[in-house]
Structure 1
Amino acid sequence: MHKKLLEMLDAIKAAKENVTNLVNENKLEEAKVAKDGLKNLQEQFDLLKDVLDPEGNGMFPEPPMQNIVPVNEKDSTHEFANAARAGFTNMMTEGSAADGGYTVPEDIQTRVNEYRSAKASLINLVDVENVTTNKGSRTFKKRSQQTGFTKVAEGGKIGAKVTPQFERQTYEIGKYAGYLPVTNELLADSDANITGTLISWLGDESRVTRNNIILSKVKTKEKTAITGLDDIKKALNVTLGQAFKATSRIITNDDGLQWLDTLKNDKGEYLLQPNPADPMQTRLCAGATIIPVTVIPNQDFLSDTATSGHRKIPFIIGDLKEGIKFYDRNLMSIMTSNIAAIGDLNAFEEDLTIFRAIEREDCKIKDSEAFVYAEMDLSDTSVTGE
């Protein structure tokens, strides 16, 4: 197809995406104007196509081989490193214009996601939805006790039943940010070193940020005091019940793992065992209760030691896929400065470049009945096993 027609097709595609985005953002007046522009582009394309491609088959003679310039495959690491060296300047992109930043490209974003998952992360245990707008809402059916139909005599009057009830959950994307000072010697180093340093920082900071956001929502539930294994069984069998028990797990920290790892049955056999299907995963096997256990390190999931002589260990028992909804804007932007001063840090004096990263997300409790936020006081002498 003729080069001009190809360029116009790209412009039409971009215009269509712009109209769609404006409608999604409820900017209807701007969308109408954009639609008129799209219509004009389409008319121009139709007229030119009649002139440049009258046969309508899009076929043109192949250019001589000597005129073809090979296109080198893009090296994302090299491009990202060069962008970092340039301070991510002149790279305003949709979604980050308000911050004057550089949106992390998809290939680097994927590597950040991989690094984010390399350490203990709660994000894989919750329900994550990628969104493209800053605000929105979702509809959920309310849980209610159904009573079934009633027996009706022949010719009798049928009574009305309660109809399903629904509720709306809104989300609003929030901004989370941090900065990293790096030496300008690092920026002069290899592409791999620059990219590796930034990906490591972005991934780990993002992982901890998301853990904190999720845990802050979990902790809005009232704490349930537990004193031993029987209370964990009650949480699974009664509080969560059959709706969630089959998909539930225990999430705790290193202190909780230590306590679980000391539990034995009356035969002296440990109750915490590796999963035969995946030896790297552990599960608690106590009678009819077999439940997976996920451990988050103490530094990410703290025990409460505020009271002298007491260590209160946190336990999340249940199904966080049903309990927590995480809205991910999937947009991370970076901005740099080599003259900024932050506290005692002076980038100009110390020959540094400061990288500021921003990501956007929101988190809500989807179903508070899907999990129990429990706490065990190890100073309590009543703490027991089975």
Structure 2
Amino acid sequence: MKKSDQLKKTYDEIKAKINDLQEAGETKKAYDLLPDLKNAEQAYKVQLEMEKQELANFLPAAAPVLKNAVEDKVMRNRIFNKLVLGIPLNEQERDFYVADSTPVQRVDDAAGTPGQVGATPAKGGYLVPEEQMATLREYRKAYTSLKTLAHVQTANSTSGSMPTLGDENGVLTNFEEITNIKQSDFDFGQLKYEIKDYGDIIPVSNQLLQDADVSILDIIGQRFARKSINTENQEILGLLGGLSSAELKDYKSLMKALNVDLDPAYYAGARIVTNQDGFQWLSELEDNQKRPLLVPDVATQDTYRFRGKEIFVLSNTTMATKESKIPFYVGSIGDYVAFFQRLGVEIAVSQDFLFDKYATALRCVERFGVVADDKDAVKAYSVTVTMA
């Protein structure tokens, strides 16, 4: 017998006894039993609720109802592939494409835009759906990307401007009741940007593309991700390369770069960006007691810090050591670099380009632009070493 049943039996027995006393005219005795009846009722209700909760915890949680979740993902991928390759959709696919709340998008820019002709599939292209973009993001994680440090914003046009911070040393204006506000009292700036197209032509075997359910991003994603990040890094390093460089001689001069050269406003978000040669130089730095100054981050695997600041290491191929000078950038990349991106990744196809190879040429394009925003946020340095 469950405990709740036992408590219910006790409650019923007290209630019956009260009824008997009332019928016998012994009202006083019946009244004295009311607290016992109330306690028995409360105990029964509490136990009943506990047993319901235990039963709910014991039963497996019901899976959320997702209407054709897997099928929708496969269908969206299939429709994307067919649109890119110029294969007609069947009736089921057409119905899904019309009904889908997030259909594959066609890139149809304004007439006259170079390389964008809406009526020509080989030039227009289609935006990669979200499921395949997730695959591309996974590939990107394998490479070191300066974009992860930048201030990334989505642009709605190929060019434009946005308001930006003015002089960080400015002060608030004192507004008196009848004081005229001068134009010089307003401290603001405009950051102009321009979006450019960056792409790659990737040959793919026709046999691979014969399966309508194949993931195109699984085939070309790794190559495109690597080239994409290389291009983004190159553009960001181009901005940083315009900074005047000072010399670092030892760990004390690097500490001075952080503590004195860099404005305290940027200290919290500061990082040290260098290449493999720079990382080696940092790993050899020791204090007066021969203790290494480059220490591993206990919370993040394969990450090192100098005086608490993360070391962001690029390959020597990406960020070269030139004329025996190792490049260093110290500061907040997020305040210095404004990264404007538009649309996503677009894929178009041409089967004529590689006709003699029995292959299909896929053109993958991303659109972005980088602009130097707060030019005081990063300082450039170099370390002169004797190269072997």
- TM-score under structure 1 normalisation? 0.66
1:378 to 366, 381, 385: 385
Residue pairs, 1:66-215, within 5 angstroms: 73-74=70-71, 76=73, 79-80=76-77, 83-84=80-81, 87-89=84-86, 93-95=106-108, 98=117, 99-143=123-167, 145=169, 163-188=185-210, 191=213, 194-215=216-237
| Counterpart for residue 260 of structure 2 | 238
The separation in 2 between residues aligned to 1:166 and 1:262, in whole angstroms, is: 44
Identity in percent: 26
The separation in 1 between residues aligned to 2:160 and 2:373, in whole angstroms, is: 15
CA contact (8 A) 2:173 2:185 kept: no
CA contact (8 A) 2:132 2:215 kept: no
CA contact (8 A) 1:273 1:282 kept: yes
Give unmatched runs, 5+ long, in structure 2: 1-66, 88-103, 110-115, 118-122, 175-181
| Counterpart for residue 344 of structure 1 | none
Q: How far 1:278 moved relative to its partner?
A: 2.7
1:273 to 295, 306, 310: 295
> 1:192 and 1:375, CA in 2 relative to 1: closer, same or farther beyond 3 A?
farther
User: Secondary structure at 1:278's aligned position in 2?
Assistant: coil
User: Secondary structure at 1:369's aligned position in 2?
Assistant: coil
User: Secondary structure at 1:114's aligned position in 2?
Assistant: helix
The separation in 2 between residues aligned to 1:142 and 1:167, in whole angstroms, is: 5
CA contact (8 A) 2:170 2:187 kept: no
The separation in 2 between residues aligned to 1:245 and 1:92, in whole angstroms, is: 42
- TM-score under structure 2 normalisation? 0.66
The separation in 2 between residues aligned to 1:202 and 1:148, in whole angstroms, is: 48
Structure (1 or 2) with the larger CA radius of gyration: 2
CA contact (8 A) 2:107 2:126 kept: no
CA contact (8 A) 2:276 2:315 kept: yes
> 1:312 and 1:74, CA in 2 relative to 1: closer, same or farther beyond 3 A?
farther
> 1:355 and 1:272, CA in 2 relative to 1: closer, same or farther beyond 3 A?
same
Residue pairs, 1:276-287, within 5 angstroms: 276-285=298-307
Q: How far 1:92 moved relative to its partner?
A: 7.4
Letter of the structure 2 residue corresponding to residue 291 of structure 1: K
- Alignment of 1:359 onto 2:366: yes
User: Secondary structure at 2:142's aligned position in 1?
Assistant: coil
> 1:190 and 1:269, CA in 2 relative to 1: closer, same or farther beyond 3 A?
farther
What is the aligned-residue RMSD (CA, Å)? 3.3
Q: How far 1:379 moved relative to its partner?
A: 2.6
Report the count of equivalent residues. 290
> 1:261 and 1:92, CA in 2 relative to 1: closer, same or farther beyond 3 A?
closer
The separation in 1 between residues aligned to 2:133 and 2:272, in whole angstroms, is: 30
Q: How far 1:143 moved relative to its partner?
A: 1.0
Residue pairs, 1:237-256, within 5 angstroms: 237-256=259-278
CA contact (8 A) 1:81 1:195 kept: no
CA contact (8 A) 1:80 1:195 kept: no
Q: Relative to structure 2, which stretch is displaced further, 252-261 or 110-119?
A: 110-119
Q: How far 1:272 moved relative to its partner?
A: 0.8
Q: Deviations over 1:8-39 (max 9, x none)?
A: xxxxxxxxxxxxxxxxxxxxxxxxxxxxxxxx
Residue pairs, 1:217-236, within 5 angstroms: 217-236=239-258
Q: How far 1:279 moved relative to its partner?
A: 4.2
Q: How far 1:86 moved relative to its partner?
A: 6.8
Q: How far 1:71 moved relative to its partner?
A: 5.8
Q: How far 1:84 moved relative to its partner?
A: 4.2
CA contact (8 A) 2:128 2:345 kept: yes
> 1:269 and 1:336, CA in 2 relative to 1: closer, same or farther beyond 3 A?
same
- Alignment of 1:296 onto 2:314: yes
Q: Relative to structure 2, which stretch is displaced further, 267-276 or 82-91?
A: 82-91
Q: How far 1:360 moved relative to its partner?
A: 0.7
The separation in 2 between residues aligned to 1:333 and 1:94, in whole angstroms, is: 8
The separation in 1 between residues aligned to 2:264 and 2:250, in whole angstroms, is: 21
The separation in 2 between residues aligned to 1:110 and 1:292, in whole angstroms, is: 27
Give unmatched runs, 5+ long, in structure 1: 1-69, 151-159, 341-346, 381-386
The separation in 1 between residues aligned to 2:82 and 2:170, in whole angstroms, is: 63
| Counterpart for residue 336 of structure 1 | 349
1:348 to 342, 350, 355: 355
Q: How far 1:168 moved relative to its partner?
A: 1.0
User: Secondary structure at 2:256's aligned position in 1?
Assistant: helix
Q: How far 1:113 moved relative to its partner?
A: 2.4
CA contact (8 A) 2:84 2:125 kept: no
